[in-house]
Structure 1
Amino acid sequence: MSLNMEEMCENLQSGERRTKLSALILLQDQCEKESYAQLHDIFDEIYLHLLKCYSDRFESVREKAVQTVTEFVNKLPPNDFHLMNIVSTLVERMGQQETLESSEEIRLLYIQKLLTLIQKYTVTGNKRSLQECYTEIISVLTKALRDAYPAVQRESCACVVALMNAADTIAIQPFIEKLTKPLYGMLNHKHSLARISAVEAIGRLALHVDPKNDTLSQLIMEVSPLLMDSMPLVRRECGQLGILLALELRDRYSFFDRIIPFILCCLKDDSPEVVDFIRPQWIKCGKQYFDENEAELSKQEIGDLPVKNYPPDVERPTIGCRAIVQRSLRLLSLITRESNDWKVNVRLHSLKLLYQFVLHAEAAMTAKFFEIYGDVARACRDPEAIVSTEAMKVADLMGRLFSYDDWIEHGFDGLVKNTKEGYLKCFYHMFAASLGTKIDDIIRVSEMLIGSEFSQTLKPEIQLYVLKLVETILSKSDEVGEQFENDKNEKLVLNSYVANIKVMALSFDSEQTNVVELQDLGQYILTKLAERQKITVAALHQNYFVSALNYVDNLDASLDDLTEPIILLNGLINIAKLRATYLPDLQEKIILVWENCDDSAKVKIFTSISVVMLQWTETINRQLCESIELLTNFVSSVIERHLLWHAGANAEAMRSMAMATLCAMSQGAVEEARIVLPAC
């Protein structure tokens, strides 16, 4: 059926909604039936009337007009004249300072129409025609990207992507900044799909940015916060942006240090979906870099031996991927600075990124250790468990992959100058994970641990890591046992014993949450030391207890039961008991308490004496005559003075404790008590 074009034009200009709709429906039907030549003639005659319907007062007419034009455009080949007319109409409806089109659905149709045009002219090779309309297209997109309707915004991002894929860089560069500003606004959109679309569009825009100005740096800075987005698909899109720039950005070598954080963060993402999506593409980036630098990297590949101490269940990055990261180490200062940020997610994000840097850079990053040591140490004592755990993973990895001989001195220096929980944790994880430990270093660690700043602290976490480090140096000494000289072995055992028993003593009677863990680990270490010396734990105490007792000082002051020397002495008595080899030395310390300390301290010590006295025969382990002599001396110097009446608020309590101790003696030293008690 041939159309009466004059009647059709009149109907399209009618004031009746039904008449115009009927005409538009008829035109759509003709698009399905007529040949290309006939459609071309029809459209040439009515296109102005169709475009005029875009501003019709009836929404249904405007919607049908857009759909009708779309049908014609899909059927007809590209035509520059029609392109300009259609785009100009879109500018009139959407690209003005005030948007004339009030319907969200029709605005969406406009943008879909624009996307169709861009794709059609790109596929058919008419990119130059699009270039002539850049000004109009950009004005429409700039407004649409700020639209209140999320679907319009997302479709606008799709238009930007399609346009950038087809654009000539020089021609599109003047318009880049106009598009970036509204896209930045979309990065904070409440809908995750809108954020994803914005990141994708920004990635395509970045390929055309002039590297001479700061636009690309600004672009990367704006997108970076989305690496911590709550939605995995948004984080994945950020990683995809990094992959795109690493593969296709012309000046990518200059921007690798800005680009690779997008990729590396996704490789350490909590979502397996993100990791699995990004990893193969990152390998592709590494292969491209290897191919571009084959002359240099192929030589490195020959000597690229497997790392002996590589973390289990972790895939080693390819040499190309490692090379990209190794040339970008100047970014480390920025990463570690963020590890001290006040926001938990920023600190966590920076540590995950640092982990990937260490994993890729391996020993090449050892030279940077002194720069990041303090920041990793601070992160190891972060109040948020999730952050401190990640920091300790970083420390473990550094110990595995860094060159031991090159970092160990810095490690010791930092620990000596900063005797803090964070440095101790960081050093422990690095030292425990490292290979090639030297005998002198093991001895040096043991000497450091017996210092009061480490093994005489009441901080639970430091106590725990002192014991862990003692356990570690004993294990490592077993690995090099054949090289140990007798005097060095003796020194190691002595230092390990002293550090261990001091921590056990200070935590013995405490209410801290990890007291059971500390006591169990301490007993394990004592057993291990005894086995090393091929003696019993009792003999171990007999041989080395005096050295630990010497660290109980300042007893000539007025100390109460909560002071560190009293807590230490009390714990030592309870753990090691009373033994013949050190009983005289212990008596001297107890007498100092009687002479100088507060009554609360005296009661605390007396209570412990009464408890350990129950095991006198077992722990003294001497012939009866010698045991009687030791007990007589102990009773006369330590207990007897408190049996006499003294004035004072706590004198009665001390007499009661003295009597309780004698009662305990009668049970723990039955034979000796028959001789000693009558003399009291």
Structure 2
Amino acid sequence: MTLEIDTQKICDQLEGTDRRQKTKALEELRELLENTAVSTEEMAASFDELYLHLLKSYDDRFESVRGQAVQTVNAFLKRLPPMDFHLLNVVSTLAERMGKAETVEPSEEIRLIYIGQLHLMICQYAKMGNVGVFRECYPQVTKILIKSIKDDYPLVQREGCATFVDLAKVADTQELRPFTESLAVALYGMLNHKHAPARISAVEAIGRLSLHMDASGDGMRRLFNEVSPLLMDTMPLVRREVGQMGILMLLELLDRYSFFERILPLVLCCLKDDSPEVLSHIYPQWLKCGELYYEENEAELSKQEISDLPVENYPENVKRPTIGCRGLVQRSLRLLTLITRETSDWKDNVRLHALKLLYQFVLHAESAMTAKFFEIYGDLAHVCIDPVAEVAAEAAKVSDLLGRLLMYDAWIDHGFDGLERNARESYMRCFYYMFTSALGGTYEQLNKIAKLLRSTDYSHTLKPGFQEYILKLLDTVLDKSLKINAGQEELQELYESVYVSGIKVNALQHSLSEDVSQGKLLIERIAKLEQISVGKLHERWFHLALLDVENLDASLEDTAEPVMLLDGLINICHLRAPYMADLIKKVLLVFEHCCDSAHVKVFSSLSMASLIWSETMGIEREQSTQVLAEFVTQIVEPYLTWKAGSSAEAMRSLAMATLCALAQGAESEAVEVLPSLAKHMPSLLEDRNVTTRHYAIKAVVYFRGMSVEDLKPLAYATMQRMDDPSAGIRSLAALAVGKLKPKFKEDSEEESQHEKEVWESFVKRAMDLLLLYHESPEKDIKAAVERTLKELAQSHPEAWEERYKRALAMVQKKDKLSELYEKLTIKDEANEVTES
């Protein structure tokens, strides 16, 4: 078919003013070009006659005409061979419409068509291998691209980026380089675009641009600084494009060896990305980068490959990078400084990003970065206690990996040095993660750690997080002790230090109301290794921990570390014979020098520990009695006498509580020790502090084996407590009266009879009072009275008959009393029948 184009008619129509006529003419011409086969010569001849009118229509006042004009020219360009003449004319026209500082073309859609036409020409000319014709119009093309990249319409921006990408793929670097800086500045402005596709297009364009930039200037440095923040973009595809840019530079950038330290982060970050689509896209290409590097450095890397085996404790479920990929990273160790600097950034996401990058760096660098450990130790330690849990967890992963991959003998001394110089939780955590994951650990090193943790800088800390990791590290020491060659004496010395460190930390945890289960498990584990009970372990080494409780000769509050340590040790290990003398000395120091709150705290713990005296003392009764007597004489008795003041009142109450606890916890020993304290009881039973009276009335029943003369003041003081303001004490007093039993003299019958008469007198007095209280409306005291009257009626039947008859004549409710009498009598008879 022959192409029949009436060029004159079309020209006349385009010169007219009728919009519909011009639009129709252009549409018909475009359709004719697209649907008719024609020779190149005929096509070129028609275009030569029409191009001036077509290009002039780019400036038509009607938008539809301008749009059809561009589309028609596109139809010509798609079928014409590349010619400088056509290219220059079209580009010049586009530059007039889109290459100026001001926006000439008001329509966003038309601007999109304009930049699309430039893109078309670049693609067409590239196909024909004739892109060199662009060299004369690069200034105009650059202006068009910059204007499109800065356009307000996102589609125009993205098309501008795509156009440049295709141009950069085929352009000569020397010809394009003069324009790269201005293009780069325009593209940087798109990196913060609110639309993710726009950011992706910009990164792709910048990646291509980097291949043509001057590596000797500041342009490349700025390029990395501008793009790097997008590694933390919220959209995975943006992060992936940044990684793709790094891959492109590693494969094609001529001067890439000079920029490995800046390029590698772009790729390594994607290898630790949370999104699978990022990792799956970048990882295969990263392997290609490694292959290329291996090919370029085969002579060196092939030798290394011969003995290139992974460490024994290589992290599970982690694939080891290829030797080429590792070689890429290992030649860029200076990158560490840049990474660790970011771990102290004030932004949470920046710190997290830096740690993920550091993980990949360590994974690839392996033992090659051992010498650099001292440079990152401090920064990594600091971020191990980051307030953001996710950041701290990532720091722990990095530390764990360092312990596995670095050469143990080369870093361990520096690790110790860090702990010795910086007794902080941060260094402790970092060292713990590394040391636990490492395979090494000699006896000397384990002993050194245990002794270091035993020092006051560590084991006396009041920070719960610090305490937790001290115990964890001690547990690791025990783990590693099972794998070393050491004698029994050496191991015992090691376990001794671990015990002292652990028990002190555990004691402080108790005083701080923290969970003490971790410390208890550690102590139980030491006991198992030593093949003894926990109690015996305390008896063996507790005194060593007690020696470290220092500076008690000062006015310390209950929250002071020495007081809290002593208090915790008492609560954790209780009272045991081997260290009682040392413990009493420490307690006396507290009572002599420390503040009232410290006295109360320690005394309260002693009281609680006294409840299980017979369980923890672990010695013969006679020896236990001696220890108890010493403890009561030095610790308890001085505070049983009345002294003025609220502090003295509190201590008196605690002393009475301790005495009561001892009477219950060491019942058999207390029988011999308590009588010597009877002289204090009457005043204690009348103390104005209800707590003191409460403990005193509870302790009264344990005063046994005393003569009538010694017991009499105590008995009458007890009986008076049935008038106490406190209902609870009245009930206890009613019960206690029936349990008081003297020991009568057997030497002389006359004296024995006299004592029995004296005690009978007390019993009658007590019965009178009990019968009086039986009329009380209080159920508790009434029940206590009945219980005590039953005991007294059985032990003193004649006195009971006498006091009953006396009371029957005096009371108003005789029926109630008779009922009580019958009740007690019936029970007594029933008991007699049962016994017989």
Shorter-chain TM-score bucket reads: over 0.9
Task: Give the match's secondary structure for 2:310.
Answer: coil
Shift of 1:369: 0.8
Cα distance change, pair 643–120 in 1 and its aligned pair in 2 (3 A): same
Query: Structure 1: any 5+ residue segments left out of the alignment?
Result: none
The answer to whether 1:115 aligns with 2:155 is: no
Residue of structure 2 equivalent to 1:635: 632
The answer to whether 1:349 aligns with 2:346 is: no
Residue of structure 2 equivalent to 1:178: 182
Q: Once the two structures are superposed, what CA deviation does each residue of 1:43-96 show, in whole Å capped at 9, x if it has no partner?
A: 222121111111110111111111111122223332322111111110010112
Structure with bigger gyration radius: 2
Shift of 1:509: 3.1
Shift of 1:438: 1.2
Q: Once the two structures are superposed, what CA deviation does each residue of 1:226-281 show, in whole Å capped at 9, x if it has no partner?
A: 11111111111111111000010111111111111101111111222211211111
Residue of structure 2 equivalent to 1:7: 9
Aligned counterpart for 1:340 among listed residues 332, 338, 344: 344
- Equivalences for residues 138-537 of structure 1 within 5 A: 138-480=142-484, 483-511=485-513, 515-516=514-515, 519-537=516-534
User: In 1, distance between residues paired with 2:453 and 2:507?
Assistant: 15
User: In 2, distance between residues paired with 1:33 and 1:477?
Assistant: 87
Residue of structure 1 equivalent to 2:575: 578
Query: Structure 2: any 5+ residue segments left out of the alignment?
Result: 678-836
**Does the 8 A contact of 2:610 with 2:658 survive in 1?**
yes
**Does the 8 A contact of 2:607 with 2:661 survive in 1?**
yes
**Does the 8 A contact of 2:552 with 2:593 survive in 1?**
yes
Deviates more, 1:653-662 or 1:450-459: 653-662
Q: Once the two structures are superposed, what CA deviation does each residue of 1:506-544 show, in whole Å capped at 9, x if it has no partner?
A: 110324xxx22xx11111111110010000011110101
User: In 1, distance between residues paired with 2:262 and 2:84?
Assistant: 41
**Does the 8 A contact of 1:467 with 1:500 survive in 2?**
yes
**Does the 8 A contact of 1:579 with 1:619 survive in 2?**
yes
**Does the 8 A contact of 1:78 with 1:120 survive in 2?**
yes
Give the AA of the match of 2:617: I
Shift of 1:121: 0.3
Shift of 1:505: 0.7
Give the AA of the match of 2:597: S
User: In 1, distance between residues paired with 2:110 and 2:207?
Assistant: 28
Task: Give the match's secondary structure for 1:306.
Answer: coil
The answer to whether 1:48 aligns with 2:52 is: yes
The answer to whether 1:65 aligns with 2:61 is: no
- Equivalences for residues 24-39 of structure 1 within 5 A: 24-37=26-39, 38-39=42-43
Higher relative contact order (CA 8 A, sep 6+): 1
User: In 2, distance between residues paired with 1:153 and 1:166?
Assistant: 21
Shift of 1:567: 0.7
Shift of 1:663: 1.2
Residue of structure 1 equivalent to 2:725: none
Shift of 1:454: 0.5
Shift of 1:559: 1.4
The answer to whether 1:678 aligns with 2:675 is: yes
- Equivalences for residues 563-574 of structure 1 within 5 A: 563-574=560-571
User: In 2, distance between residues paired with 1:552 and 1:128?
Assistant: 86
Shift of 1:495: 0.8
**Does the 8 A contact of 2:511 with 2:565 survive in 1?**
no
Q: Once the two structures are superposed, what CA deviation does each residue of 1:374-417 show, in whole Å capped at 9, x if it has no partner?
A: 11111112222222221121111111101010001111111101
**Does the 8 A contact of 2:132 with 2:171 survive in 1?**
no
User: In 2, distance between residues paired with 1:617 and 1:439?
Assistant: 39
Residue of structure 2 equivalent to 1:551: 548
Give the AA of the match of 1:19: Q
**Does the 8 A contact of 1:36 with 1:76 survive in 2?**
no
Cα distance change, pair 33–194 in 1 and its aligned pair in 2 (3 A): closer
Shift of 1:551: 1.0
Aligned counterpart for 2:539 among listed residues 510, 533, 542: 542
User: In 2, distance between residues paired with 1:100 and 1:560?
Assistant: 81
User: In 2, distance between residues paired with 1:360 and 1:596?
Assistant: 60
User: In 1, distance between residues paired with 2:34 and 2:276?
Assistant: 48
Deviates more, 1:72-81 or 1:455-464: 72-81
User: In 2, distance between residues paired with 1:647 and 1:380?
Assistant: 53
Shift of 1:664: 1.1
Task: Give the match's secondary structure for 2:644.
Answer: coil
TM-score, normalised to structure 1's length?
0.97
Shift of 1:208: 1.0
User: In 1, distance between residues paired with 2:6 and 2:379?
Assistant: 81
Deviates more, 1:442-451 or 1:131-140: 131-140
User: In 2, distance between residues paired with 1:196 and 1:93?
Assistant: 27
Q: For this pair of structures, how many residues does the alignment match?
A: 673
User: In 2, distance between residues paired with 1:6 and 1:285?
Assistant: 59
Shift of 1:99: 2.3
Aligned counterpart for 2:82 among listed residues 78, 83, 92: 78
Give the AA of the match of 1:214: D
User: In 2, distance between residues paired with 1:291 and 1:549?
Assistant: 66
Deviates more, 1:423-432 or 1:64-73: 64-73
Residue of structure 1 equivalent to 2:106: 102
User: In 1, distance between residues paired with 2:648 and 2:31?
Assistant: 113
User: In 2, distance between residues paired with 1:623 and 1:106?
Assistant: 105
User: In 1, distance between residues paired with 2:49 and 2:576?
Assistant: 115
Deviates more, 1:485-494 or 1:570-579: 485-494
User: In 1, distance between residues paired with 2:36 and 2:236?
Assistant: 49
**Does the 8 A contact of 1:339 with 1:347 survive in 2?**
yes
Task: Give the match's secondary structure for 2:511.
Answer: coil
Give the AA of the match of 1:658: A
Task: Give the match's secondary structure for 2:660.
Answer: helix
Spell out structure 1 runs of 4+ moving beyond 4 A: none
Task: Give the match's secondary structure for 1:406.
Answer: helix
User: In 2, distance between residues paired with 1:566 and 1:217?
Assistant: 59
Residue of structure 2 equivalent to 1:601: 598
User: In 2, distance between residues paired with 1:36 and 1:476?
Assistant: 87
**Does the 8 A contact of 1:36 with 1:75 survive in 2?**
no
